[in-house]
Amino acid sequence: MAVRVAVADDQALVRVGLRVLIDAEDDLEPAGEAADGREAVELARRERPDVVLMDIRMPVLDGIAALREIVADPRLEGTRVVVLTTFELDEYVFEALRAGASGFLIKDSEPAELLRAIRLAAVGESLLSPSVTRRVISTFVSRAPEGPRLELKPLTERELEILALVGEGLSNDEIAERLVISPATARTHVSRSMVKLGARDRAQLVVAAYRAGLVR
């Protein structure tokens, strides 16, 4: 079954380009377009796409507010949001991380990287691309108000090792390749770590890794 992808961006040319890119892939399928944040939320509720590509700066309702509404809606539990951003919008990215974004991409990313982000988000993984991860997440950690720290003591040595790799932005397949284990084993360790740490999503594991000093 094809992954259904909705696009939310206030620039028509961007929406068209993303739709054409998605439509050209056999395993992806366009699920509608929105020109502002309010339309994005309504589109998500109507179509229930697997993934929403969400611009941050949009009229009526910005992308962060739209992201919060989508994440908070129990009917959209299976919908993942990948935020499209620029380096000039770091502060907004921090808010998106708090709100539950499943990934971040710079708008001028290569098409292959965008398609990879969609596919990873669709299977429950987060893409915090190497071009974004260190700058955005490390700055987020240093600037974000202190919240309850995630307790790392419940994690095994292997889970700590994998948490560090998650913090570097590696996918389950990349972790498996690095540690010479199966992708299923990597996925299991990541899932157990999320449960043990009470992390809402993979992005929170990244923050935990930075705050614990596992990633530098």
What is the per-residue pLDDT for 1? 83
Radius of gyration of the chain (CA): 17
Mean predicted confidence (pLDDT) in 56-73: 92
Query: Which has more confidence, 149 or 118?
Result: 118
Q: Is the pLDDT of residue 202 over 80?
A: no
pLDDT in tens, 109-144: 889 988 988 988 887 766 665 555 555 665 655 655
Q: Is the pLDDT of residue 60 over 70?
A: yes
Confidence of residue 188 (pLDDT cuts 50, 70, 90): very high
Give me the DSSP letters along the chain. -PEEEEEE-S-HHHHHHHHHHHHTSTTEEEEEEESSHHHHHHHHHHH--SEEEEESS-SSS-HHHHHHHHHH-GGGTT-EEEEEE-GGGHHHHHHHHHHT-SEEEETT--HHHHHHHHHHHHTT--EE-HHHHHHHHHHHHHHSPP-PPPP-TTS-HHHHHHHHHHHTT--HHHHHHHHT--HHHHHHHHHHHHHHHT-SSHHHHHHHHHHTTS--
What is the per-residue pLDDT for 134? 55
- The lowest-confidence range among 18-27, 44-53, 74-83 is 74-83
Q: Is the pLDDT of residue 108 over 90?
A: no
pTM for this entry: 0.73
Closest by Cα among 89, 22, 25 to 33: 22
Confidence of residue 150 (pLDDT cuts 50, 70, 90): low
Summary mean pLDDT of the chain: 84
What structural domains and CATH numbers belong to the chain?
3-142 (3.40.50.2300), 148-211 (1.10.10.10)
What is the per-residue pLDDT for 126? 66
What is the per-residue pLDDT for 163? 92
64: which residues sit within 8 A by CB, 6+ positions away? 56, 92, 95, 96, 99
Using CA of residue 184, residue 187, residue 192, residue 195, what is the dihedral sign? Answer: negative
What is the per-residue pLDDT for 77? 87
Residue 61, both tokens:
């309702």
Confidence of residue 90 (pLDDT cuts 50, 70, 90): low
